[in-house]
Amino acid sequence: MTVFLKGFSFTDAFTMNDEMNLQSALLSGYKSRLRPGTDRTIPLNVSVSFHLSFIKEFDEHSGKFSVNGVFILHWYDERLQWDPNSYNGTNRTILPQNQIWIPNFVNINPYHEVSGLGSDLMTVDIEASGLCRWIPLQTFDVICDADVTKYPFDTQYCTLNFILWEQTRDAVFISISESEVGLSLYKVHGLWDIVKTQLYTKVNIYNDNEVIVGFWLNRRSLYYTVSLIIPLLSISMLMGFVFLLPPGSGERVGFITTVLLSYIVFLTIIQDKLPESSEPNISVIGYFLVACVMNGSITTVCVIVSLRFHTCSGINDPIPPYLARLAKCRSKSKVQPFAMDLPDSKSVSLTEDEDFPITWSDVGAGFDKICLTVCAIQCVVTTLIYLGIVCF
Protein backbone atom coordinates (compact mmCIF):
# COMPACT_ATOMS: atom_id res chain seq x y z
CA MET A 1 0.00 0.00 0.00
CA THR A 2 1.18 3.45 -0.85
CA VAL A 3 0.05 6.67 0.85
CA PHE A 4 0.83 10.14 -0.49
CA LEU A 5 1.01 13.01 2.00
CA LYS A 6 2.20 16.53 1.22
CA GLY A 7 4.36 15.42 -1.70
CA PHE A 8 5.99 12.49 0.10
CA SER A 9 5.54 8.81 -0.69
CA PHE A 10 5.47 6.11 1.97
CA THR A 11 5.69 2.45 0.91
CA ASP A 12 5.81 -0.82 2.72
CA ALA A 13 9.55 -1.62 3.10
CA PHE A 14 11.55 -4.50 4.46
CA THR A 15 13.31 -4.22 7.79
CA MET A 16 16.72 -5.18 9.08
CA ASN A 17 15.28 -8.39 10.52
CA ASP A 18 13.94 -9.28 7.08
CA GLU A 19 17.38 -8.90 5.50
CA MET A 20 19.07 -10.76 8.37
CA ASN A 21 16.67 -13.66 7.94
CA LEU A 22 17.26 -13.59 4.19
CA GLN A 23 21.05 -13.71 4.51
CA SER A 24 20.88 -16.48 7.10
CA ALA A 25 18.70 -18.52 4.76
CA LEU A 26 20.94 -17.88 1.74
CA LEU A 27 24.19 -18.79 3.51
CA SER A 28 22.78 -21.84 5.29
CA GLY A 29 24.63 -24.80 3.78
CA TYR A 30 26.26 -22.60 1.13
CA LYS A 31 29.64 -23.83 -0.17
CA SER A 32 31.71 -20.94 -1.45
CA ARG A 33 34.23 -23.30 -3.09
CA LEU A 34 31.60 -24.73 -5.45
CA ARG A 35 30.81 -22.76 -8.53
CA PRO A 36 27.17 -21.99 -9.35
CA GLY A 37 25.31 -24.08 -11.89
CA THR A 38 22.88 -26.94 -11.32
CA ASP A 39 23.76 -28.58 -14.64
CA ARG A 40 27.53 -29.09 -14.42
CA THR A 41 27.78 -29.83 -18.14
CA ILE A 42 26.88 -26.21 -18.94
CA PRO A 43 29.60 -23.63 -18.18
CA LEU A 44 28.73 -20.69 -15.99
CA ASN A 45 28.64 -17.42 -17.91
CA VAL A 46 30.57 -14.56 -16.29
CA SER A 47 30.22 -11.14 -17.93
CA VAL A 48 33.26 -8.84 -17.60
CA SER A 49 33.89 -5.15 -18.24
CA PHE A 50 36.64 -2.79 -17.06
CA HIS A 51 36.57 0.92 -16.24
CA LEU A 52 39.72 3.00 -15.79
CA SER A 53 39.96 5.66 -13.06
CA PHE A 54 43.42 7.10 -13.73
CA ILE A 55 46.99 6.23 -14.64
CA LYS A 56 49.19 6.45 -11.56
CA GLU A 57 52.59 5.84 -13.08
CA PHE A 58 54.44 4.57 -16.10
CA ASP A 59 58.18 4.28 -15.52
CA GLU A 60 59.92 3.36 -18.77
CA HIS A 61 63.21 2.77 -16.96
CA SER A 62 61.86 0.11 -14.59
CA GLY A 63 58.98 -1.05 -16.79
CA LYS A 64 56.34 -0.38 -14.12
CA PHE A 65 52.82 0.46 -15.28
CA SER A 66 50.37 1.35 -12.52
CA VAL A 67 46.67 2.18 -12.92
CA ASN A 68 43.57 2.44 -10.77
CA GLY A 69 40.54 0.74 -12.22
CA VAL A 70 37.42 -1.24 -11.49
CA PHE A 71 36.11 -4.50 -12.91
CA ILE A 72 32.36 -5.05 -13.20
CA LEU A 73 31.41 -8.74 -13.24
CA HIS A 74 27.96 -10.34 -13.48
CA TRP A 75 26.87 -13.96 -13.10
CA TYR A 76 23.89 -15.95 -11.87
CA ASP A 77 23.99 -18.12 -8.76
CA GLU A 78 20.76 -20.14 -8.41
CA ARG A 79 21.62 -20.86 -4.76
CA LEU A 80 21.12 -17.16 -4.03
CA GLN A 81 17.61 -16.89 -5.45
CA TRP A 82 14.59 -16.12 -3.24
CA ASP A 83 11.01 -14.94 -3.34
CA PRO A 84 10.87 -11.26 -2.30
CA ASN A 85 7.34 -11.72 -0.94
CA SER A 86 8.66 -14.18 1.64
CA TYR A 87 10.86 -11.44 3.12
CA ASN A 88 8.53 -8.45 3.11
CA GLY A 89 9.52 -7.30 -0.37
CA THR A 90 13.28 -7.65 0.05
CA ASN A 91 14.54 -7.76 -3.53
CA ARG A 92 18.30 -7.28 -3.04
CA THR A 93 21.01 -7.71 -0.45
CA ILE A 94 24.75 -7.34 -0.09
CA LEU A 95 27.18 -10.03 1.07
CA PRO A 96 30.96 -9.95 1.66
CA GLN A 97 32.86 -11.47 -1.23
CA ASN A 98 34.55 -14.07 0.99
CA GLN A 99 31.21 -15.64 1.96
CA ILE A 100 30.05 -16.64 -1.52
CA TRP A 101 31.55 -17.95 -4.72
CA ILE A 102 33.29 -15.35 -6.88
CA PRO A 103 35.34 -15.77 -10.07
CA ASN A 104 38.93 -15.95 -8.85
CA PHE A 105 40.77 -13.74 -11.35
CA VAL A 106 44.53 -13.55 -10.76
CA ASN A 107 46.91 -11.02 -12.28
CA ILE A 108 49.67 -12.94 -14.09
CA ASN A 109 51.95 -10.03 -15.09
CA PRO A 110 52.33 -8.24 -11.72
CA TYR A 111 55.19 -5.89 -10.97
CA HIS A 112 55.28 -7.07 -7.34
CA GLU A 113 53.63 -10.18 -5.92
CA VAL A 114 50.86 -12.15 -7.60
CA SER A 115 47.45 -10.99 -6.45
CA GLY A 116 43.80 -11.60 -7.20
CA LEU A 117 40.85 -9.29 -7.62
CA GLY A 118 39.14 -7.70 -4.66
CA SER A 119 39.79 -7.75 -0.93
CA ASP A 120 37.94 -8.42 2.31
CA LEU A 121 36.49 -4.92 2.05
CA MET A 122 34.67 -5.74 -1.19
CA THR A 123 31.06 -6.91 -1.32
CA VAL A 124 28.78 -8.54 -3.87
CA ASP A 125 25.38 -7.07 -4.72
CA ILE A 126 22.78 -9.84 -5.10
CA GLU A 127 19.28 -9.58 -6.58
CA ALA A 128 16.34 -11.89 -5.90
CA SER A 129 16.76 -13.50 -9.33
CA GLY A 130 20.21 -14.74 -8.30
CA LEU A 131 22.05 -12.13 -10.36
CA CYS A 132 25.36 -11.29 -8.67
CA ARG A 133 27.23 -8.08 -9.37
CA TRP A 134 30.79 -7.69 -8.13
CA ILE A 135 32.68 -4.41 -8.54
CA PRO A 136 36.25 -4.76 -7.21
CA LEU A 137 38.14 -1.45 -7.20
CA GLN A 138 41.90 -1.92 -7.15
CA THR A 139 45.34 -0.58 -8.00
CA PHE A 140 47.09 -2.71 -10.60
CA ASP A 141 50.90 -2.65 -10.80
CA VAL A 142 52.04 -4.62 -13.83
CA ILE A 143 55.12 -5.07 -15.95
CA CYS A 144 55.16 -3.20 -19.25
CA ASP A 145 58.27 -3.34 -21.43
CA ALA A 146 58.64 0.09 -23.01
CA ASP A 147 59.52 0.54 -26.66
CA VAL A 148 61.48 3.80 -26.64
CA THR A 149 62.58 3.68 -30.27
CA LYS A 150 60.85 6.97 -31.08
CA TYR A 151 61.28 8.63 -27.68
CA PRO A 152 59.99 11.25 -26.90
CA PHE A 153 57.40 10.81 -29.68
CA ASP A 154 56.68 7.20 -28.74
CA THR A 155 53.50 5.18 -28.30
CA GLN A 156 53.43 2.40 -25.72
CA TYR A 157 51.22 -0.67 -25.47
CA CYS A 158 50.61 -2.02 -21.96
CA THR A 159 48.29 -4.78 -20.78
CA LEU A 160 46.74 -6.14 -17.62
CA ASN A 161 46.61 -9.95 -17.89
CA PHE A 162 44.31 -12.10 -15.76
CA ILE A 163 43.44 -15.78 -15.70
CA LEU A 164 40.56 -17.50 -13.96
CA TRP A 165 42.35 -19.57 -11.34
CA GLU A 166 41.17 -23.14 -10.61
CA GLN A 167 38.40 -22.93 -13.21
CA THR A 168 38.65 -24.51 -16.65
CA ARG A 169 37.00 -23.28 -19.82
CA ASP A 170 34.46 -26.10 -19.52
CA ALA A 171 33.39 -24.83 -16.09
CA VAL A 172 33.29 -21.05 -16.62
CA PHE A 173 32.76 -19.12 -19.83
CA ILE A 174 34.01 -15.51 -19.83
CA SER A 175 32.03 -13.10 -21.97
CA ILE A 176 33.11 -9.51 -22.61
CA SER A 177 30.23 -7.07 -22.24
CA GLU A 178 32.27 -4.10 -23.55
CA SER A 179 35.13 -4.55 -26.01
CA GLU A 180 36.75 -1.29 -24.92
CA VAL A 181 37.77 0.04 -21.53
CA GLY A 182 35.23 2.41 -19.99
CA LEU A 183 36.67 5.92 -19.63
CA SER A 184 33.72 7.71 -18.05
CA LEU A 185 35.60 7.79 -14.71
CA TYR A 186 39.01 8.52 -16.24
CA LYS A 187 41.03 11.56 -15.15
CA VAL A 188 43.42 12.83 -17.80
CA HIS A 189 47.10 12.11 -17.15
CA GLY A 190 49.65 14.89 -17.53
CA LEU A 191 52.18 12.84 -19.48
CA TRP A 192 50.21 10.20 -21.38
CA ASP A 193 47.22 10.29 -23.70
CA ILE A 194 45.13 7.15 -24.12
CA VAL A 195 44.86 6.60 -27.88
CA LYS A 196 43.00 3.29 -27.87
CA THR A 197 41.87 0.57 -25.47
CA GLN A 198 40.66 -2.98 -25.77
CA LEU A 199 39.24 -5.72 -23.58
CA TYR A 200 39.20 -9.27 -24.87
CA THR A 201 39.74 -12.89 -23.93
CA LYS A 202 42.00 -15.53 -25.35
CA VAL A 203 43.02 -19.10 -24.64
CA ASN A 204 46.64 -19.32 -23.52
CA ILE A 205 49.06 -22.19 -24.05
CA TYR A 206 47.76 -23.89 -20.90
CA ASN A 207 44.21 -23.89 -22.28
CA ASP A 208 43.11 -21.38 -19.66
CA ASN A 209 40.80 -18.41 -20.11
CA GLU A 210 42.85 -15.21 -20.12
CA VAL A 211 41.36 -11.72 -19.86
CA ILE A 212 43.49 -8.97 -21.36
CA VAL A 213 42.99 -5.25 -20.80
CA GLY A 214 45.10 -3.32 -23.33
CA PHE A 215 46.09 0.35 -23.47
CA TRP A 216 47.79 2.29 -26.25
CA LEU A 217 49.48 5.31 -24.65
CA ASN A 218 50.80 8.26 -26.61
CA ARG A 219 53.36 10.45 -24.84
CA ARG A 220 52.62 14.15 -24.53
CA SER A 221 55.79 15.37 -26.24
CA LEU A 222 55.44 19.17 -26.04
CA TYR A 223 57.50 19.41 -22.85
CA TYR A 224 60.28 17.25 -24.32
CA THR A 225 60.21 19.20 -27.57
CA VAL A 226 60.73 22.51 -25.78
CA SER A 227 63.20 21.33 -23.16
CA LEU A 228 65.14 18.68 -25.09
CA ILE A 229 64.70 18.56 -28.86
CA ILE A 230 64.90 22.29 -29.68
CA PRO A 231 68.00 22.92 -27.47
CA LEU A 232 69.63 19.82 -28.93
CA LEU A 233 69.06 20.95 -32.52
CA SER A 234 70.20 24.47 -31.64
CA ILE A 235 73.48 23.15 -30.26
CA SER A 236 73.90 21.04 -33.38
CA MET A 237 73.57 24.16 -35.53
CA LEU A 238 76.23 25.96 -33.50
CA MET A 239 78.92 23.38 -34.20
CA GLY A 240 79.88 24.65 -37.66
CA PHE A 241 80.09 28.28 -36.59
CA VAL A 242 83.34 27.57 -34.79
CA PHE A 243 85.11 27.96 -38.13
CA LEU A 244 83.86 31.57 -38.44
CA LEU A 245 85.74 32.62 -35.32
CA PRO A 246 89.03 34.42 -36.07
CA PRO A 247 91.92 31.96 -35.73
CA GLY A 248 93.88 34.43 -33.65
CA SER A 249 91.13 34.95 -31.08
CA GLY A 250 92.08 31.81 -29.16
CA GLU A 251 88.39 30.90 -28.62
CA ARG A 252 87.98 28.12 -31.15
CA VAL A 253 89.05 25.20 -28.98
CA GLY A 254 87.07 26.44 -25.98
CA PHE A 255 83.94 26.94 -28.09
CA ILE A 256 83.95 23.48 -29.70
CA THR A 257 84.80 21.82 -26.37
CA THR A 258 81.79 23.49 -24.75
CA VAL A 259 79.51 22.26 -27.54
CA LEU A 260 80.90 18.74 -27.20
CA LEU A 261 80.34 18.73 -23.43
CA SER A 262 76.76 19.92 -23.98
CA TYR A 263 76.08 16.85 -26.12
CA ILE A 264 77.55 14.59 -23.46
CA VAL A 265 75.30 16.20 -20.79
CA PHE A 266 72.20 15.60 -22.95
CA LEU A 267 73.30 12.02 -23.57
CA THR A 268 73.66 11.42 -19.83
CA ILE A 269 70.20 12.88 -19.11
CA ILE A 270 68.50 10.72 -21.72
CA GLN A 271 70.32 7.55 -20.64
CA ASP A 272 69.03 8.07 -17.10
CA LYS A 273 65.44 8.18 -18.37
CA LEU A 274 65.50 5.27 -20.80
CA PRO A 275 65.59 1.54 -19.96
CA GLU A 276 68.91 -0.24 -20.21
CA SER A 277 67.46 -2.99 -22.38
CA SER A 278 68.24 -2.99 -26.10
CA GLU A 279 64.99 -4.75 -27.01
CA PRO A 280 63.13 -4.14 -29.18
CA ASN A 281 65.35 -1.21 -30.23
CA ILE A 282 67.58 1.47 -28.79
CA SER A 283 66.12 4.96 -28.87
CA VAL A 284 66.72 6.87 -32.09
CA ILE A 285 67.56 9.98 -30.10
CA GLY A 286 70.35 7.97 -28.47
CA TYR A 287 71.83 7.25 -31.89
CA PHE A 288 71.36 10.91 -32.79
CA LEU A 289 73.29 12.04 -29.71
CA VAL A 290 76.05 9.52 -30.28
CA ALA A 291 76.36 10.75 -33.87
CA CYS A 292 76.52 14.33 -32.59
CA VAL A 293 79.22 13.43 -30.06
CA MET A 294 81.26 11.70 -32.76
CA ASN A 295 80.82 14.66 -35.11
CA GLY A 296 81.80 16.99 -32.29
CA SER A 297 84.96 14.96 -31.69
CA ILE A 298 85.83 15.03 -35.39
CA THR A 299 85.11 18.77 -35.53
CA THR A 300 87.42 19.31 -32.55
CA VAL A 301 90.22 17.58 -34.42
CA CYS A 302 89.46 19.70 -37.50
CA VAL A 303 89.65 22.87 -35.39
CA ILE A 304 93.07 21.86 -34.10
CA VAL A 305 94.28 21.08 -37.63
CA SER A 306 92.89 24.40 -38.88
CA LEU A 307 94.73 26.29 -36.15
CA ARG A 308 97.86 24.43 -37.12
CA PHE A 309 97.49 25.68 -40.70
CA HIS A 310 96.95 29.27 -39.57
CA THR A 311 99.91 29.31 -37.19
CA CYS A 312 102.52 27.75 -39.49
CA SER A 313 105.53 30.10 -39.49
CA GLY A 314 106.67 31.82 -42.65
CA ILE A 315 105.24 31.89 -46.15
CA ASN A 316 108.35 30.18 -47.47
CA ASP A 317 107.49 26.87 -45.77
CA PRO A 318 106.78 24.31 -48.47
CA ILE A 319 103.09 23.51 -48.97
CA PRO A 320 102.28 20.01 -50.25
CA PRO A 321 100.27 20.00 -53.48
CA TYR A 322 97.31 18.18 -51.91
CA LEU A 323 97.04 20.93 -49.28
CA ALA A 324 97.47 23.65 -51.85
CA ARG A 325 94.19 22.52 -53.40
CA LEU A 326 92.39 23.60 -50.26
CA ALA A 327 93.35 27.19 -51.05
CA LYS A 328 91.08 27.11 -54.12
CA CYS A 329 88.25 28.09 -51.80
CA ARG A 330 89.91 31.48 -51.29
CA SER A 331 89.67 34.35 -53.78
CA LYS A 332 91.63 33.45 -56.85
CA SER A 333 93.11 36.90 -57.11
CA LYS A 334 93.84 39.56 -54.60
CA VAL A 335 93.77 42.30 -57.26
CA GLN A 336 90.86 42.24 -59.68
CA PRO A 337 91.55 43.04 -63.33
CA PHE A 338 90.46 46.46 -64.61
CA ALA A 339 90.54 48.51 -67.82
CA MET A 340 91.92 52.08 -68.19
CA ASP A 341 91.19 54.51 -71.02
CA LEU A 342 94.37 56.27 -72.25
CA PRO A 343 94.46 59.70 -73.91
CA ASP A 344 95.13 58.15 -77.31
CA SER A 345 91.81 56.29 -76.92
CA LYS A 346 93.57 52.96 -76.57
CA SER A 347 92.12 50.64 -73.97
CA VAL A 348 94.62 48.66 -71.92
CA SER A 349 93.59 45.75 -69.72
CA LEU A 350 95.80 45.17 -66.71
CA THR A 351 95.66 41.70 -65.25
CA GLU A 352 97.94 39.75 -63.04
CA ASP A 353 100.42 37.73 -65.02
CA GLU A 354 100.83 35.15 -62.30
CA ASP A 355 98.81 33.80 -59.46
CA PHE A 356 99.70 35.18 -56.11
CA PRO A 357 101.72 32.67 -54.02
CA ILE A 358 99.64 30.39 -51.76
CA THR A 359 100.28 30.82 -48.06
CA TRP A 360 99.44 28.66 -45.08
CA SER A 361 96.76 31.17 -44.11
CA ASP A 362 95.11 30.56 -47.49
CA VAL A 363 95.19 26.82 -46.83
CA GLY A 364 93.63 27.37 -43.39
CA ALA A 365 90.92 29.64 -44.81
CA GLY A 366 90.03 27.09 -47.46
CA PHE A 367 90.00 24.31 -44.91
CA ASP A 368 87.67 26.36 -42.67
CA LYS A 369 85.19 26.91 -45.51
CA ILE A 370 85.12 23.22 -46.33
CA CYS A 371 84.59 22.25 -42.68
CA LEU A 372 81.82 24.84 -42.28
CA THR A 373 80.02 23.46 -45.33
CA VAL A 374 80.38 19.85 -44.18
CA CYS A 375 79.11 20.70 -40.67
CA ALA A 376 76.07 22.50 -42.10
CA ILE A 377 75.23 19.56 -44.37
CA GLN A 378 75.75 17.08 -41.54
CA CYS A 379 73.45 19.07 -39.23
CA VAL A 380 70.66 19.26 -41.81
CA VAL A 381 70.93 15.61 -42.89
CA THR A 382 71.10 14.25 -39.32
CA THR A 383 68.12 16.35 -38.22
CA LEU A 384 66.02 15.32 -41.22
CA ILE A 385 66.82 11.63 -40.68
CA TYR A 386 65.90 11.83 -36.98
CA LEU A 387 62.65 13.69 -37.58
CA GLY A 388 61.78 11.38 -40.46
CA ILE A 389 62.19 8.29 -38.27
CA VAL A 390 60.33 9.53 -35.20
CA CYS A 391 57.46 11.22 -37.05
CA PHE A 392 56.63 8.47 -39.54
Residue 329 confidence (pLDDT): 62
Ranges under pLDDT 70 in the chain: 1-12, 276-280, 313-317, 328-357
The pLDDT score that the predictor gives to residue 320 is 76
Instruction: Assess if residue 60 is contained within a domain.
Output: yes
Note whether 101 and 176 are same-domain residues: yes
| Per-residue model confidence (pLDDT) at position 352 | 40
**Domain endpoint, select from 185, 219, 253:** 219
Q: Is 85 in the same domain as 62? A: yes
Number of domains comprising the chain = 2
Residue 34 sits in a domain whose CATH number is 2.70.170.10
Clarify whether residues 139 and 210 are in a common domain. Answer: yes
- What was the pLDDT predicted at 234? 86
- Where a domain ends, among 219, 236, 262? 219
Q: Looking at the structure, do residues 82 and 169 belong to the same domain, yes or no? A: yes
Residue 314: per-residue pLDDT: 55
DSSP β-bridge partners for residue 172: 44
Judgement on whether residues 181 and 237 belong to the same structural domain of the protein: no
